């Protein structure tokens, strides 16, 4: 049986650097050591409520002990005892009907048709796997960038990352086993993932639960770079603008690779990056995972507002990002703060550079997501708790 504790206690010398450098805790070193010891011993600590699940601490540890995995494990123990607030159920994958199924009903007709066409899970060797983040923003695919590309994905094939980010590790294991069987059946050999969350889950996280994915996984940033580098994408004009770049938490497990590659792509497009106060492996979470520790929905909005304010403070002409989830959370922050800085996905910037006009529906999509979320929050008893039902895949062929 899996223990679910992927923290390496043997290599950890309790130095406290992880919590000392954490962009949320910023603890003096003595306090950091004390609080980390409490985490190790399974005692109550403010870390468990303040942590925004940003993953940075794994990169700060000089011994690669994976302190973030210890936080996830403590959250798992808390979940076993107390469950999760009922309000969270609506926002989690595989809990139908949920936020995703509600949102799909409100998509414009062109996106509904697009998402329906992606849900055809036929056997394919090479696929672009949209994942939920891109399914909810399917207008990002309205581009000749995706000519001759086969999309394959639905909410039933979700990578399940949110369960992992809040520490419900038993459910993560079930999803890992389900996806392993499902993908084996689909015969995929090469998969391009638009967000790094999917890539990290399949490459790094699910193998820890014993699941094997016998295919090549290429993050979209690599795919874009390869196409630009090989001259397959003809850039018509330099964009000549300055943007600030939000680094996705899920880039952190890959070291500097995607911090560098995203900036390299922007540079080729003629975009200068002006950095936010917290960037690269110190980047703050967009807000999406800020629920993980506190279990308070308002902390998602507070964290998103803080991150969007950092972007505005740079004075850049736009906020660029490379994750669909970050795009809609930060777009909600933009709406609520009446911010002036527009938000663009890297895909949209590439579209502009090849001479297209992106559909750019992020603000209207964020507005709809916010309305759906608020309606659900008003409906659910804030005291009610739930525990996840088992998730498994039944081959109905």
> Closest distance between ligand SF4 and the C-beta of residue 253, in Å?
12
Give the chain's radius of gyration (CA, Å): 20
Structure tokens at 284: 């703050």
Report the residue number, 282 or 385, with the smaller CB distance to ligand SF4.
282
d(CA 47, CA 60): 16
Nearer to ligand SF4, 25 or 188 (CB): 25
Identity of the residue, 107 or 251, whose beta carbon is nearer to ligand SF4 in the bound complex: 251
Question: What does the binding site for ligand SF4 look like in residue numbers (CB under 6 A)?
Answer: 12-18, 22, 24-25, 36, 47, 51-57, 60-61, 63, 65, 67-68, 71
The distance of closest approach from Cβ of residue 263 to ligand SF4 in the complex, given in angstroms and rounded to an integer, is: 22
Classified as helix, coil or strand, 385 is strand
Q: Which is nearer to ligand SF4, 95 or 279 (CB)?
A: 279
The span from the CA of 255 to the CA of 44, in Å, is 31
Q: How far is the CB of 303 from ligand SF4 (least distance, A)?
A: 10
Cα distance between residue 247 and residue 326, in whole Å: 9
What's the min distance (Å) between Cβ of 68 and ligand SF4?
5
For ligand SF4, the closer CB: 37 or 190: 37
Strand pairing partners for 386? 84
Q: Tell me the closest approach of the beta carbon of residue 13 to ligand SF4, in angstroms.
A: 5
Nearer to ligand SF4, 173 or 299 (CB): 299
User: What is the residue-wise DSSP string for 163-214?
Assistant: HHHTT-HHHHHHHHHHHHHHHHHHT--EEEESSHHHHHIIIIIHHHTT----
Closest approach, Cβ 7 to ligand SF4, in A, equals 7
Do 21 and 258 touch, CB atoms closer than 8 A?
no
Beta bridge partners of 343: 319
């Amino acid at each position: 049986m899996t223990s679910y504790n992927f923290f390496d206690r043997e290599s950890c010398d309790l130095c406290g650097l992880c919590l000392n450098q954490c962009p949320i805790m910023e603890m003096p070193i003595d306090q950091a050591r004390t609080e980390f010891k409490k985490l190790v011993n399974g005692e109550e600590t403010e870390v468990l409520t303040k942590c925004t699940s940003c993953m940075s601490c794994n990169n700060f540890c000089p011994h690669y002990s994976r302190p973030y995995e210890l936080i996830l494990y403590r959250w798992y123990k808390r979940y076993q005892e107390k469950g999760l607030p009922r309000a969270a159920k609506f926002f989690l994958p595989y809990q139908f009907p949920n936020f995703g199924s509600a949102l799909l009903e409100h998509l414009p007709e062109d996106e509904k048709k697009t998402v329906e066409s992606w849900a055809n899970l036929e056997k394919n060797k090479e696929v672009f796997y949209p994942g939920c983040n891109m399914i909810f923003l399917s207008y990002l695919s309205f581009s000749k960038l995706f000519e001759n590309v086969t999309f394959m994905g639905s909410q039933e094939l979700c990578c399940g990352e949110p369960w992992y980010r809040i520490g419900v590790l038993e459910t993560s294991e079930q999803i890992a086993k389900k996806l392993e069987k499902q993908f084996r059946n689909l015969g995929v050999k090469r998969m391009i993932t638009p967000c790094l969350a999917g890539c990290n889950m399949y490459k790094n996280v699910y193998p820890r639960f014993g699941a094997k994915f016998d295919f090549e996984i290429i993050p979209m940033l690599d795919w874009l770079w390869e196409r630009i580098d090989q001259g397959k994408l003809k850039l018509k004009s330099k964009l000549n603008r300055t943007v600030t770049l939000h680094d996705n938490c899920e880039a952190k497990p890959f070291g500097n690779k995607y911090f560098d590659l995203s900036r390299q792509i922007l540079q080729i497009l003629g975009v200068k990056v002006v950095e936010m106060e917290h960037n690269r492996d110190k980047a703050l979470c967009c807000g999406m995972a800020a629920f993980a520790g506190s279990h308070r929905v308002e902390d998602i909005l507070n964290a998103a507002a803080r991150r969007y304010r950092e972007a505005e403070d740079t004075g850049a002409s736009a906020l660029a990002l490379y994750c669909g989830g970050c795009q809609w959370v930060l777009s909600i922050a933009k709406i609520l703060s009446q911010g002036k800085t527009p938000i663009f996905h890297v895909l949209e910037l590439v579209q502009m550079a090849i001479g297209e006009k992106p559909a750019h529906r992020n603000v209207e999509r964020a507005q709809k997501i916010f309305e759906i979320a608020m309606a659900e929050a008003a409906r659910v008893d804030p005291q009610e708790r739930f525990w996840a039902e088992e998730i498994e895949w039944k081959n109905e062929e």
